[in-house]
Copies of this chain bind each other. A is one copy, B any other.
Amino acid sequence: MKKGFFSLCLASVLFGMVALSSTPENPSEDQAVKLSDQTEECLECHRTISPGIVEDWLSGSHAHMTPAGAMEKTELGLKVSSKAVPEKLLSVAVGCYECHSLNAESHTDNFEHFDYKINVVVSPKDCATCHTKEQEQYSSTKKSFAYGNLKKNPVFHKLVETIISLKEFKDGEIIQLEASPSTEAETCYGCHGTLIEVTGTRTFETELGEIQVPQLANWPNQGVGRINPDGSQGACTACHPRHSFSIEIARKPETCSQCHLEPDLPAWNVYRESKHGNIYSSVHHKWNWTKVPWTVGKDFKAPTCAVCHNSLIVDPDGEVIAERSHDFGARLWVRLFGLIYAHPQPKSGDTYTITNADGLPLPTTFKGEPASDFLMEEESQKQQQSKMTKVCTSCHSTDWAEGHFDKLHKTIEETNRMTAVATDLMLSVWDKGWANPANPFDEAIEQKWILQWLFYSNSVRYASAMSGPDYASFKNGWWNLTKNLQEMKYIFKKKQ
């Protein structure tokens, strides 16, 4: 292929870019920057073959900024946290080749593509070339370990298998068969992340001749704890979708809502019906979604997921209220999501390493005793709570915020007691031999017990944390906790 031809094609790409640039995400980036020769060559074909992603990339910051330019920003506005971006990347736009060629040696998915060595999957380790701090923060979190936290925890794994396995009806019984990797990938591991593995090579016929690409198992996937072909954990694209990597999208609560939703984890659902969510829904179109740092009251009028949990928030004088963190537990002290009880946040993201007093890899025993060695201590909890409180007090009095969290702690205590009541009933059922505890998840009454802690107690706690009274009452809340408990008792009585 001749260079002159590429340049010609590029010219039209650039004109395209300029045309688009009238409304780039961040107007201050409205300028044509130099593309690398390699990226020019990628674009030559891919602007026709996959025009959607090329246009999407053109609408994002990566197409309009060089790392060197990005690093000139003031400290609070800085998005490139690496102090040492490689020389060859510094002065060109962040294009196809810049990302898809990084750390090729560790990528089992690297393949030869028109004389270039290309990785199919761009991993957090690759993104860390420029965004070092973000990847570091993320790497030790529960999210980063989300794959192993399911797969390597035999209790959770049994729950997953029980739910998603094929079944058979035989002699009046339901027989549990195998679960397929395909269904694993479409259910739990859709959010938790899959194990991406190269299983061979696939050959395509194209207009430019035969093309060979790696065959990947459990791909595509954007789960937060994805195991990438370079061995790294995570997928930045879970929240910053390809190829605009838009900060607006990452900041919108709908992004979080892909995984944090009812019935087990109704953070989004509760938020949407809260006063904060109502203000968001009503007037978010007037907010500034791309500003960094993000100014309370000016750029946004009500908190979103990102405001409370991880964005860099400043007051109108530029004073920092909360620091950016890609550890989404950086302002958390208690874990509302009960397994089976709500408990202090685990000290480490790899929760499958926890062992409780029953010898199970769970943060509490079935009786509610916490595996304290693995959980955040009281002093750290207080520090975390005060970080969150600082966000609240941008708008509310300290009094207000403390009162709010007092109520949450009371609700955690009450819902944990409700889980204990249902568990008492189950312990009695197991004790009497009316259900088989070898698999505590597969019989009708056991599944009602799961509803109590996984759906209803969790919903009440999220409803308390974000003030969504419907989820605390009738929508998977106290109504359901009460009604389902009566139904468990009804089955219990029938067994007698």
- Which residues of A pack against B, CB within 8 Å? 16, 20, 23, 47-56, 58-59, 162-169, 172-174, 180, 182-183, 185-188, 190-191, 202, 204, 213, 215, 219-220, 222, 241, 244, 246, 248-249, 252, 254-255, 257-259, 261-264, 273-275, 277-279, 281-283, 285-286, 296-298, 301, 315-317, 393-400, 403-404, 407, 410-411, 414, 417-418, 421-422, 424-425, 428, 442-444, 447, 455, 460, 463-464, 467, 469-470, 472-475, 477-479, 482-483, 485-487, 489-494, 496
Contact = CB atoms under 8 A, between A and B. Distances in A.
A165 to B, nearest CB: 8
A402 to B, nearest CB: 9
Contacts of A186: 407, 411, 460, 463-464, 467, 469, 472
B182 A410 contact: yes
B397 A213 contact: yes
Given A169-B421, A296-B51, A489 B188 contact: no
Nearest to A19: B298
A473 B282 contact: no
A285 B285 contact: yes
Given A249-B279, A478-B163, A473 B187 contact: yes
A169 B418 CA distance: 10
A300 B126 CA distance: 28
A241 B278 contact: yes
Given A278-B254, A414-B180, A421-B169, A297 B48 contact: no
Nearest to A249: B282
Contacts of A219: 400, 403
Nearest to A190: B469
B241 A174 contact: no
Contact of A187 (B166, B257, B472, B496): B472
B172 A447 contact: no
A99 to B, nearest CB: 16
A255 B273 contact: no
Contact of A55 (B180, B279, B316): B316
B483 A447 contact: yes
A202 B399 contact: yes
A213 B53 CA distance: 55
Given A169-B428, A204-B398, 16 more contacts: A51-B394, A53-B395, A166-B418, A169-B421, A172-B493, A182-B410, A186-B467, A186-B469, A190-B469, A220-B396, A246-B283, A248-B282, A249-B278, A249-B282, A443-B486, A447-B483
B393 A50 contact: yes
A418 B398 CA distance: 51
A441 B346 CA distance: 40
A263 B421 contact: no
For chain A, what secondary structure do more than half of its interface residues adopt (helix, strand, loop), or is it mixed? helix
Contacts of A278: 241, 249, 252, 254-255, 257-258
B463 A220 contact: no
A359 B406 CA distance: 41
Contacts of A444: 483, 486-487, 489-490
Given A254-B281, A282-B252, A473-B188, A316 B16 contact: yes
Given A316-B47, A398-B204, A477 B257 contact: no
Nearest to A47: B316
A273 B261 contact: yes
A341 to B, nearest CB: 15
A410 B180 contact: yes
A132 to B, nearest CB: 26
Contacts of A395: 50, 52-53, 56
A194 to B, nearest CB: 11
Given A23-B286, A248-B283, A255-B278, A469 B191 contact: yes
Most B C-beta atoms less than 10 A away, residue of A23, A180, A182: A182
Contacts of A249: 278-279, 282-283
Contacts of A167: 418, 421, 482, 485
A185 B482 contact: no
Contact of A252 (B165, B185, B213, B281): B281
